[in-house]
Amino acid sequence: MSSNYQSAAEKQKAVREAVFPALESVEQVYQDVTYTVKYKSEEFNSVCPKTGLPDFAALEIEYQPDKYLVELKSLKLYLNAFRNVGVFQEHAANKVFQDFWKAANPRYLKVTMTFGARGGIDTRVEVEQRRVEMLGFSGPLQYLDQVGGTTASDLDLRPFCK
């Protein structure tokens, strides 16, 4: 393994715990209504941790709020903080997803990042999760932790269905 790759890999270990500007949430008054909010930005950028070259992406965030909304100015400042961060594309999408989920605790969240082609290869990363109770489950399960690698298809959850 090259030393350049090793240093890039070491930097990535800290991405999951990295602290970015806070995503602020505000209480939403239409908690009795299920609706979808979609945010789109063509201006997401970060830096490749291996080459130091900039990465550019279109970012889409789609979510169904429960008790909280994410305040847009804080989202803008949060996303701009990635500008000089060396992060692999897949890790950037998962970090945005993880932090958004923590801030809003939505009923449903999907983060899609489509990165521009580099070396003839473009990258599209999708991270998606729905709260377990929204799927009709009961019992001790609270959330489906897709960030940790568990998805509904990995589990036999039929005993928990209502």
Beta bridge partners of 5: none
Q: Is 140 exposed, middle or buried, given 0-12, 13-18 or 19+ CB atoms closer than 10 A?
A: exposed
Contact 61, 110 (CB under 8 A): yes
For 4-162, where are the E strands, in sequence order? 25-27, 37-47, 54-64, 68-70, 108-118, 121-130
The tokens describing 46, both together, are 């970060």
Catalytic, 161? Answer no
Which backbone phi and psi does 142 adopt, to 5 degrees?
Answer: -105, -50
- pLDDT more than 70, % of the chain: 74
Contact 80, 62 (CB under 8 A): no
- Please write the tens of the pLDDT for every residue from 8-53: 666 677 777 788 999 999 999 999 999 999 999 999 999 999 888 9
Q: How confident is the model at residue 135 (pLDDT cuts 50, 70, 90)?
A: low
Query: What is the pTM (predicted TM-score) of this model?
Result: 0.77
**Which residues, including other chains, have CB under 8 Å from residue 60's CB and lie 6 or more apart?**
38, 39, 40, 110, 111, 112, 113
Architecture, CATH, for domain 24-130: 2-Layer Sandwich (3.30)
Catalytic residue among 32, 48, 154, 156: 48
Catalytic residue among 55, 66, 122, 145: 55
pLDDT for the residue 17: 77
Catalytic, 48? Answer yes
Q: How confident is the model at residue 131 (pLDDT cuts 50, 70, 90)?
A: confident
DSSP 22: P
Domain ranges, ordered by start, for the chain: 24-130, 131-162
How far is it, in rounded angstroms, from Cα 52 to Cα 50?
6
